[in-house]
Every structure is written in C-alpha cells, then in structure tokens.
Amino acid sequence: MLTWKNISVTIELIGRNIFQNNALSNFERRTRNMMNLKLSEVVIG
C-alpha cells in the first residue's frame, strides 16, 4: 500500500541514484580525458 511518505522516499531514492550515476559518469569522463591527454603527451613528446 502506497502512502505519501513511501512515495516521497521512493522519489528521493531514485533521485539520489540518478545523481550518483551522473557524478560517477562525470568522474569517469574526466578520468578518461586526463588519461587521453597523458597518452597524447607521451605520443607527441
């Protein structure tokens, strides 16, 4: 049985999951970009 409290908690959990996934993907993207820069520096240098 769904109550407003349950619904709000569910929405909060979903939002937190989305936020964490976004933060993780941003971190992964930044890390990958840094690795690419390092690789290109090595190749060019």
pLDDT of residue 4: 82
Mean pLDDT of 14-22: 88
Place 30 in a pLDDT band, splitting at 50, 70 and 90. Answer: very high
Length of the chain: 45
Model pTM score: 0.48
Q: In the 3-class helix/strand/coil scheme, how is the chain assigned residue by residue?
A: CCCHHHHHHHHHHHHHHHHHHHHHHHHHHHHHHHHHHHHHHHHHC
